[in-house]
Homo-oligomer: A and B are copies of this chain.
Amino acid sequence: LTLSICDSRTIWWDDGLWLIDQTRLPVELKPIKMHSMKELIEAIVTLRVRGAPALGAAGAYGIALAAQLSPSDNPFELLQELEIAGQMIKSARPTAVNLSWGADRALKAAASQDSAQGIKEAALREAEQIAEEDIAINMMLGQKGALLLEDGDRVLTHCNAGRLACVSWGTALGVIRSAVQMGKEIHVYACETRPLHQGSRLTAWELIQEGLDVTLICESASGSLMRQGKIDKAIVGADRITRDAVFNKIGTYNHAVLARAHSLPFYVAAPLSTFDLKHSEMDITIEERGAEELCSIGGVQLAPANVRVYNPAFDATPLDLVTGLITEKGVFRPPLMPPI
């Protein structure tokens, strides 16, 4: 049962919180159960679960998990515990807005209840609701975005904005899935995405699983391919969209500048929950990760000991480099933004 759930869901509830351990891919498709808040926070920090929409669900399920694990039957105490759990969850990864968004929705649902049992049920119900919504939203977003793709298009993507980044279906890869479902032939160039290889480990894996057409490249080959006329469009996901910039995996900005230099469309696919129009680029902290991600893999030393490393997880792409923002409410061409 669990393995068949894995084929369509990245995160789910089955007498507790389960998720696919994405650090084990492409070697094995392994579901893991979260036994404590500490385990969940560790899973978020180490990217066992990652991707903006999936983190939205993880934020909400995290509140449901904290409620389930609490021995308290005092509703006031229980809500206080959930608030603390919410703070822990939100600070696990500062750049992705969806984590806060999901946790806050579950907290709000919980706060509307006046019994401990009611709180627990409401938090879980809201998390399940978010997960269902995420699937429906991604399908809608995919349908709208697919209209932008033409039969035969060769599409560049970066990192993983696929079903593994969401509860199911995917954002950038959801658009490609929907286009293929409409009968269009689409070829994907997947950037491997250093330092954590989400492109080779996850994007290439999930596309091959479904029999879609993919070629793996180093991100450093994107410009050369564009110059050779081998890329028609680029589509990426987003971790946060402020009123002036798209925050996404480091390297997104490079591809956006290169797409502009070659007069190619550059699309960002993201649900409305990724938009944060109250803030601008300057307000957002970009998460910096550890040096070890660049310095070794599986015990193989790739850099001298103690080398200074700058390892930002994300970059900011100004909206004027973005041809269109693909959402469940349609495609918005900056400076036009979705009404939120």
Contact = CB atoms under 8 A, between A and B. Distances in A.
Interface of A: 26-27, 189, 192-195, 197, 200-201, 204-205, 208, 214-225, 227, 250-251, 253-254, 257-258, 260-261, 291, 294-295, 297-305, 307-312, 315-316
B224 A301 contact: no
A214 B307 CA distance: 8
A204 B300 CA distance: 16
Contact of A200 (B189, B298, B307): B307
B295 A298 contact: no
Given A214-B307, A218-B194, A307-B216, A294 B200 contact: yes
Copies in the complex: 2
Contacts of A205: 303-304
A300 B301 contact: no
Contact of A220 (B27, B200, B251, B260): B251
Given A216-B308, A217-B309, A217-B311, 12 more contacts: A189-B310, A197-B302, A200-B302, A216-B307, A218-B251, A220-B254, A224-B316, A257-B258, A258-B258, A260-B261, A261-B261, A298-B298
Given A205-B304, A297-B300, A250 B220 contact: yes
Nearest to A309: B216
B253 A254 contact: no
Contacts of A225: 310
A221 B27 contact: no
Contact of A304 (B26, B227, B308): B26
A331 to B, nearest CB: 25
5 contacts: A197-B303, A217-B311, A218-B311, A221-B311, A257-B258
Contact of A208 (B193, B307, B310): B307
A248 to B, nearest CB: 11
B303 A216 contact: yes
Nearest to A301: B27
Contacts of A217: 294, 309-311
B297 A224 contact: no
Contact of A297 (B201, B257, B297): B297
A223 to B, nearest CB: 4
Contact of A204 (B195, B204, B297, B303): B303
Nearest to A260: B261
Contacts of A254: 220, 222-224, 254, 258
